[in-house]
Every structure is written in C-alpha cells, then in structure tokens.
Amino acid sequence: MRFNRKRRKGNTLVESAFILTTFIAVTVGVLDIGQVMYAHQGLVERARAAASWAGSRPFNATNIRNVTVYNTSSPTNSSKAIYNGLTLAMVSATLEDSGTPEARVVVKISNYPFTFYSPWITAMYTARTITAVATHEASLP
C-alpha cells in the first residue's frame, strides 16, 4: 500500500509538469497575440489621426509626418514620440488624386520594429514588421 502511494506522488508530479508547461506556453502565446494587436491598433490610430489632421489643411508631408510621430506639426528638440519606437523614417504621407474631388491623404507607417515574448514565435517571424495605412479625404483649397 505504501509503495503505491509513493508511486502516485511521482506520477502527479510528472503530470503537473506537463500541464504547467502547456499552461505557460499558451499564456505566452496569448500575450504575444495581445501585444501584436495592441501595437497594430496603436499605429493605425496614429496614422488615422495624422490623416484626419491633414485632411483639413494644405498638404505638407513633413508636417503630417511630425503629427504622426509627435502629435504636433512643429516639434521641438525635446519632443518625444507619442508611440514608443516610432520614428519619422517609418512614416510616409502622400496625396492621391490631387486637384480632384476624390483627393485623399494617405499616411503609411511601415517597418515598425517588433519583438515577441515567445522564443518560438521569434525564431519563426524575425523579419516581420507592422504596417499601418490610413486614408482621409482631403479638403479642396
């Protein structure tokens, strides 16, 4: 009878190790998915806000890029990026169909650096970047 109890305790320990490993892997995966969704939504919001801002002003790509990164069209030397890791080099602004009623301001954020928590996903997706694009109708002068 004693031998059987000791054996069960060892069996329970092994089963717990398997369950704990699976639980940690799933939890880290959920954190990675949440992190990707948060980063993507934050970048889309920055692009949308800049496109909206640019839609009511004369087109100026530099000012639009500044609004995307710093939330102001004329940043100072001490200005910090609104979104961590976002730089002016990652932002582009274009005016499509200029001079027509279908004129659109397109703000694109690309090559945003992204790292995963999980070592398994990092090994598979090292070169992946997040790209966010927002368009807004431009006002005619």
Give per-residue pLDDT as tens, 11-30: 788 888 999 999 998 998 88
Q: Which H/E stretch holds residue 127?
A: none
pLDDT band for 127, please (50, 70, 90 cuts): very low
pLDDT of residue 70: 95
Q: How far is CA 90 from CA 10, 52, 110, in A?
A: 55, 18, 5
pLDDT of residue 3: 56
Average pLDDT over residues 101-113: 85
Contact 52, 67 (CB under 8 A): no
pLDDT of residue 69: 94
Q: Does residue 126 register a pLDDT over 50?
A: yes
Q: Does residue 67 register a pLDDT over 50?
A: yes
Q: Is pTM beyond 0.85 here?
A: no
pLDDT of residue 7: 57
